[in-house]
Amino acid sequence: MRSEEIDLGIYDLSGRRVRSLHHGQLALGVHDFEWNGRGEGGRRVAAGIYFVRLDGPGHHLQTKLVKLR
C-alpha cells in the first residue's frame, strides 16, 4: 500500500501552529484525527477561530474551525 509524507496541524489566525496532529508517513486511505482543544504544551487554547491544515506532496487543504469553549 502506498503512503505519503503529510503534515496535519491546527493553526491560529496569525498562522502560528497551535498543535500538530500528525507529521510523517501516512498510508493512503481514510483516517480519523481528533483535537482535544489543547495546544502542544497541554493547555487549553482560547475559544476562537482556528484553521486545520493538511500539507502533502502536491496538495494543500485548509478549513476553518470554530472552538466555542
For residue range 40-65, what is the model confidence (pLDDT) as tens digits? 999 999 999 999 999 999 889 999 99
Summarize the confidence of residues 23-50 as an average pLDDT. Answer: 95
Model confidence band, residue 17 (pLDDT cutoffs 50, 70, 90)? very high
Model confidence band, residue 1 (pLDDT cutoffs 50, 70, 90)? confident
In the chain, domain spans:
3-67
What pLDDT was estimated at residue 13? 96
Task: Please tell me what DSSP assigns to residue 63.
Answer: E
What pLDDT was estimated at residue 69? 84
Summarize the confidence of residues 9-34 as an average pLDDT. Answer: 95
